[in-house]
Structure 1
């Protein structure tokens, strides 16, 4: 038992670990793995419609990094941090998907004390040492197990020798995530942790409380004022902080509340939730069964109802179903056949399964054809073998008013409407039902798709009459929305394309009926489930006829792409298929600590907190303040007691959004208030996705105006490739660590120069030094790669800048909130540019002399730096993007052979050929371009004398200035070493070129 004594405030003035080091390469690998887990992530089941989720492991690293002290032994600091993060070898033994069994260990490992470690049955058959060949007759039927007295730590130290000696990201790829293993992953660490930190902890809550007392005098008071989906406050609660989570948007608050009270709730509350879920399912199912609206009377139960729009063709007068595809299910080879009814001038729709492949493929093209990217679609149908084509805008009656505004002839639906009127342009038609029936034996089902018969139409009418007789009452009670859709960038879509004016218009009668029943029986803890249910039960839910192997169809969520896209066809889930939203087996991490969730803006914070970790909406393309009104409309009236004090409105005008002046003012107000609510020894971590080229100036402005000072910055890859994004757009997150700016320090621009350079150089040397110290720990991998050191260099420059409240007699808080004028370089912009450029001057690749580096153009620096990165296996496009911004390369794409997200690379000398040598190129008349040209020629077997002659002509003043010649020799040597593994043939050519220059006689 540790005898360490916890002394309040003993760490008050100690720098936090995150201000000195963070293993960002390992953290990037872990974050990427968590993001790739998709629906398997811990909190996603609470609401998959929220996409901007920061990985839990990243949040844990930030919070722990704020609490842990940076000591005089950074290598040991790193080791302890990685133990706490389950990144050490012993933790990976527990994270391995299957631990090695005793017999496997003895078969593979050489051990001298086998009998001290293992026992066998029968006894006495184990030899003294291993490895053991179990195929020998004497070991037949022998059973082996660990001796009870062998500790878990001893077992893991032996088992870790069997882990594959791969790079960290490959190891992470095949291992479980720490949260999937549970607390046992940390069983072996506490004696080491306590010895290093002077604590007495045996769990994270104990460690967090003790570090909080040592640093703040109390258990850490944590706050996230942009809590969103609750990812960050959830991790703070799990670690053992007192948590404050707030957000302006009540739907974000619902998700945060659910994270803390459902997944993070105690076992008693989880039992109550399960009971209430079962009760809701029983009550709603009873009413639906009584109505008979989801059964066919022959043992089949509906799983999904498929609807389409139907319009009158203005040319032929026919009523035409709008089907972009007639494929109903690829798995069932089911299609919709259109059968002309010439008497009625309409189409019957037959659903046929098990069709031939030719018919299935032909059915991929329906009656709605795309006009191409950015073009309007058009309707196509062919009665009597005569094709009619009509643009959808023509059917809608689109026009422009005299003042240029867009309009159309769609009727604007009234509040009392819940289905189209008979004279509306767009009608809705049920055209197929997905049925299921339990097999006579077992728990499996038969499935089939059918067309619509008279009984189905009668059941639809039953639903319509039930809703018609109750909708006014439901709206009054808040069980169905009655609020208007306010115009907006995203919310204009349903108004413009369908004429829907109220939120309940986005739901058909079946959906309204089931939603109203659910609202009647739902209690507070079920509201997150209600929101999740709504996401999959509206007229904006796409039917996926080909969701994957072994599946016949799936209804997708409204917010698959974070918009309110109206559809020509949609799916309506039966309640039987929707029960999964009320029987979700949420993961559980029970906690008993205090927490609060508030629906308020960040600048309204009224309580003090020690640690802030926030992920603000910088340049957020997702209009949450608009699209989440979809849910608010359903939940705003008569909310449960848990949420009754919240403002049930999106408050669009108050939301921080975009990147303009309003955004900057909103951010300053928010972070200024957080700073005011933080003690002098408090700490903040601000997360932002690194996209905009003005990001550093923007964040420096916000930090300065908020009374903060930057102390560190780290870059972590957190975003996955997605079909919704271009293939070259993998992004990461910058972690900006800040403290309160204390005192009123003044300086001048001239005095800043040496101070910034000294600070950046010290930062670079510190991190590169730790790389050397940690070689054994990291199996020759670097703790920090060049991109990490570059980011830390930026932070060092900002640390110097934001230390001062007055520069050149100017008040920086006032300068930082000065409105921007397009094209103007502000005083702050100029300072940031200068600081970043100074930082870049210090990031010289090994093998290039600083005197040469200082004379290079941005494009030359970029190419030399990225060749070094490629040589070490780093080919993520975000590295290229970041360094291109750092070196101010205007068109780095011209230097790239590939811009794929995970396999980007520069052009080789051969691929450049004669390109990028003219005046328009950023490499024009550069020594590097001349060297690459020489390498290209040598690789192409050009005579050496000619190559050398061309080189002397391509390098300006070759014979007059020896510096160009020395630089060319250095670059050739540099390329020879970096290309050895990448392109051996070019490496050999570079060596020849180096020797040609070296041996050339001058004069």
Structure 2
């Protein structure tokens, strides 16, 4: 297969896709965190990057030509990911490379051209040394210097200076000339190009739909590009966020002004009432901006009531701690807040945590007691039960006698003062709780009690019960909470309820546009919001709920005041989408009846997040206003209908969903299914589902991002597979042997085509793992073109249980495809015959070195590689496994460890590494040769293989500093082995 084969497809994305650049752009968008376009509307789990959606839609609409390389160039121009596009994005961002850095990127000739080098050498600042006269000429020279320097940066480095593609108006005029010439269009904008490409393919602008719309990325981006868009979700919270993405963020300046005016009105009214109540001010007129609470429980060993917190560090910038003191007169443990303590006291406060590994650490008697024992956990036929009292609807605090009580232990106050220059300033004070603070807490309780029944009846406070579930049952088990408002303390309920009361005073159309505000407030003000002592530059701050994908009950938590809750206002960048053909519904994917030319979906799959449970946290607060302003929507999370699990029911529900979407798609339509690639069994399940739904795989690409997360153990890796599908038009039946031959040919042809396309590329489109993924896709492309396989029973496969450990036929096909790829993708310069004699663990290690040589340090890339070679245990190979720093060990790092007779420890590669270590230790290449000659069975029969391995290790010399000396030693040992004589 040559690169021309890439033109034998219906769209660009089915032939090729610049996964490397799209991944980097997606990562840049993710790193914007709260500045991402849609995140300001409210929390949703797993929103997909808008740049990835844009690339997917254009990838499906752009036809391939007879020139694949030119196709890629044009696609990058459309996405503004080419040189000129990046430069335009830099200028739009008003980005500038520091002149000192720009100077370093210029050639000697260019430096002499643009700068007075005598002044540079004289120590003047470089920006004063530009060799030009007059402002206009200087600006011209500056721009030219910036452009030259910018062009010499890597793609990753350029992204530090540029806006995201969504933040500019599209390609330049010159780029449009190239795009139109290649595609036969006359477009001057992205919406115009979408319309023309759609008319070429479908006779009209294509409708793009998402039946699992979640946070709204697909409907929003499709509508912004000018497509009629359709979004549906079983979950009303997801539907609301999608509606808001189209009508709030996409509503233009007029809606932006409406939202801003309404917010100011509501926030001012709430602030006025709170100030009038006097519940956030002290006698000095300082205003609180944070309250810290903790649980407390009686130590079963000594009877002392212990405040619970994993650490008593409060703010790192000012060394603020809670100092515990056992008052023997009262029998209580008091928490005294101290500022500016010594380093030793600061460190001791962390060690003084009273909860460690879910065990109470009593500071009075020094004994540890498991929390589960304090709760009285017992396993029974119906799961775990305990002695905790189940809270009633009217409970907002623990009752006397409850296992866990609750106390306020710190207040942070904000002092406003005028400095000597008459400037208004503020400073924070962390204070121990006083009797006055406790009286204000009592007042909060009374104010809430006076309003509780009325506010619940009016929907300003939730009254919804917590239904049992994978995530929700823990709330009852760990705290006894039975209603959603139990996740909020009295102060939070009073403030949140007051806010809803003021929202309810607005007109219906205004409420519709500011409704996400409710979710933003409760998201940041609940009992499941942890306090982070490093937040805000170390001054300490409250995190939002759901800092992972779970309902975590906390031992200590933060409560925001209205002073800090004002930051929850919708501060979002608006776009004038105004797409009248955009539609959003609360609807089950199995019941969708709207036709779409293109479906782009991110469905639930084997390890799905429990959206239907987690979202009820928000739905409990939203439901009254949703009923008012969206009467056609329901306010039930529809748990019973949610597609969950990973067994037969899950597969059949998914088949029904995708059969329905296929029926609501023209024969020349297409689908992209997005999912997180876990392992071959997940792939096999998804392939089986799509196959049974009458869909055929035409391509697959992984868009990968990866970030560190302090709140998760290990690595937090996020990679999204884009699986491209068409309707299957054939009912032919295949035989397994026939499939195997076709898969082998298809895999090899696909890899050869991709490699040819990436020749001579400084920044190739495809990474090492993309070739491996292409093997998966090639196998499924062959398989799903058939209506069935003679020896397979699709009904049996749909009902197969994963727990029985039996490998499915599809998994076997995939694994064989990956093996073909492993044999075919030989590291550059390695002898193909010798490569095929290596064990999987050896190939994994050597390919891992190749990843490092390509500058690939994403953990996911190494994980994918291991899966491809079928190696399950490889942690011992890591020198570093941190996100974006992953790599395998060098010879010296292995040292004398991990030597054995079996597996990698006994392999030729491991012995070669040890020989390098010996050569370095003794500063003699012959020591390495003698090790191999004396320790390796059949040394002479494997001599050529050892020379090949050592030569490959020697090629790592220029890759990284830690390889430099090992690589030199490897070259010397290779020479000694080559010159060895029997």
Matched, 1:902 2:884: yes
Which residue does 2:355 correspond to in 1? 370
SS of aligned partner of 1:449? strand
Which residue does 2:707 correspond to in 1? 720
Distance 2:536 2:87 in 1: 34
Distance 2:678 2:104 in 1: 52
Which residue does 2:789 correspond to in 1? 807
Matched, 1:471 2:452: yes
Matched, 1:672 2:638: no
Alignment of 1:629-708 (within 5 A): 629-708=616-695
Choose the corresponding residue for 2:269, options 280, 283, 289.
283
In structure 1, list runs of 5 or more residues that go unmatched: 1-11, 113-117, 119-132, 148-153, 382-386
Choose the corresponding residue for 2:572, options 566, 569, 586.
586
8 Å Cα contact 1:248/1:651 also seen in 2? yes
Which residue does 1:4 correspond to in 2? none
| Pair 351,731 (structure 1): closer, same or farther in 2 beyond 3 Å | closer
Distance 2:104 2:264 in 1: 51
Which residue does 2:514 correspond to in 1? 526
Matched, 1:709 2:709: no
8 Å Cα contact 1:396/1:410 also seen in 2? no
Structure 1 residues 15-24 or 257-266, which shifts more?
Answer: 257-266
Choose the corresponding residue for 1:295, options 281, 291, 313.
281
SS of aligned partner of 1:560? coil
8 Å Cα contact 1:93/1:99 also seen in 2? no
In structure 2, list runs of 5 or more residues that go unmatched: 1-6, 115-125, 504-510
Distance 1:376 1:108 in 2: 57
Which residue does 1:434 correspond to in 2? 412
Deviation (angstroms), 1:694 = 1.7
Matched, 1:446 2:427: yes
Distance 1:569 1:435 in 2: 19
Distance 2:379 2:768 in 1: 57
Deviation (angstroms), 1:809 = 5.4
Deviation (angstroms), 1:444 = 3.2
Choose the corresponding residue for 2:398, options 417, 420, 437.
420
Which residue does 2:497 correspond to in 1? 516
SS of aligned partner of 1:303? strand
Distance 1:137 1:529 in 2: 51
Choose the corresponding residue for 2:217, options 201, 218, 231.
231
Alignment of 1:942-957 (within 5 A): 951=932
Choose the corresponding residue for 2:230, options 244, 247, 262.
244
TM-score (norm 1): 0.86
Deviation (angstroms), 1:409 = 3.2
Which residue does 1:3 correspond to in 2? none
Distance 1:156 1:673 in 2: 55
Structure 1 residues 479-488 or 615-624, which shifts more?
Answer: 615-624
Matched, 1:541 2:529: yes
Which residue does 1:128 correspond to in 2? none
The superposition leaves residues 44-89 of structure 1 with CA deviations (integer Å, 9 ceiling, x where unpaired) of: 2222x43422222222211111111111111111111111222112
Deviation (angstroms), 1:607 = 0.9
8 Å Cα contact 1:729/1:901 also seen in 2? yes
The superposition leaves residues 704-755 of structure 1 with CA deviations (integer Å, 9 ceiling, x where unpaired) of: 1121111111122223221233444534222211111112122222223332
Structure 1 residues 71-80 or 314-323, which shifts more?
Answer: 314-323
| Pair 917,682 (structure 1): closer, same or farther in 2 beyond 3 Å | same
Distance 1:678 1:27 in 2: 27
8 Å Cα contact 2:779/2:817 also seen in 1? yes
8 Å Cα contact 2:207/2:229 also seen in 1? yes
Structure 1 residues 457-466 or 187-196, which shifts more?
Answer: 457-466
8 Å Cα contact 1:913/1:933 also seen in 2? yes
Distance 2:332 2:945 in 1: 79
Which residue does 1:91 correspond to in 2? 85
SS of aligned partner of 2:590? helix
Which residue does 1:144 correspond to in 2? 137
TM-score (norm 2): 0.88
| Pair 402,162 (structure 1): closer, same or farther in 2 beyond 3 Å | closer
SS of aligned partner of 1:439? strand
The superposition leaves residues 783-840 of structure 1 with CA deviations (integer Å, 9 ceiling, x where unpaired) of: 3233222222321222111111122354657745555561222333333333333343
Q: How many equivalent residue pairs?
A: 945
Deviation (angstroms), 1:395 = 8.2
Which residue does 1:130 correspond to in 2? none
Distance 2:10 2:739 in 1: 23
Matched, 1:572 2:559: yes
Deviation (angstroms), 1:221 = 0.7
Which residue does 1:201 correspond to in 2? 187
Distance 1:940 1:351 in 2: 56
Distance 1:900 1:446 in 2: 38
Deviation (angstroms), 1:20 = 0.9
8 Å Cα contact 1:322/1:379 also seen in 2? no
Which residue does 2:4 correspond to in 1? none
Distance 1:495 1:664 in 2: 31
Alignment of 1:483-522 (within 5 A): 483-522=464-503
Deviation (angstroms), 1:208 = 1.0
| Pair 492,159 (structure 1): closer, same or farther in 2 beyond 3 Å | same
Distance 2:939 2:327 in 1: 85
8 Å Cα contact 2:20/2:765 also seen in 1? yes
Choose the corresponding residue for 2:873, options 873, 881, 891.
891
Choose the corresponding residue for 2:389, options 411, 425, 448.
411
SS of aligned partner of 1:421? coil
| Pair 850,184 (structure 1): closer, same or farther in 2 beyond 3 Å | closer
Distance 2:571 2:498 in 1: 22
SS of aligned partner of 1:377? strand
8 Å Cα contact 1:178/1:185 also seen in 2? no
The superposition leaves residues 964-996 of structure 1 with CA deviations (integer Å, 9 ceiling, x where unpaired) of: 554444444444334454534444444455555
Matched, 1:192 2:185: no
Alignment of 1:720-799 (within 5 A): 720-772=707-759, 775=760, 778=761, 780-799=762-781
Matched, 1:867 2:849: yes
| Pair 319,897 (structure 1): closer, same or farther in 2 beyond 3 Å | closer
The superposition leaves residues 501-527 of structure 1 with CA deviations (integer Å, 9 ceiling, x where unpaired) of: 111122222222222222223212222
Alpha-carbon RMSD across the aligned residues, in angstroms, is 3.6
Distance 1:761 1:793 in 2: 8
Distance 1:269 1:406 in 2: 50
Matched, 1:976 2:922: no
Deviation (angstroms), 1:914 = 6.2
Distance 1:598 1:449 in 2: 48
Query: If you compute each CA radius of gyration, which structure gives the higher value, 1 or 2?
Result: 1
Which residue does 1:558 correspond to in 2? 545
Which residue does 2:56 correspond to in 1? 62
Distance 2:561 2:612 in 1: 30
Which residue does 1:29 correspond to in 2? 24
Distance 1:358 1:350 in 2: 17
Deviation (angstroms), 1:231 = 2.2
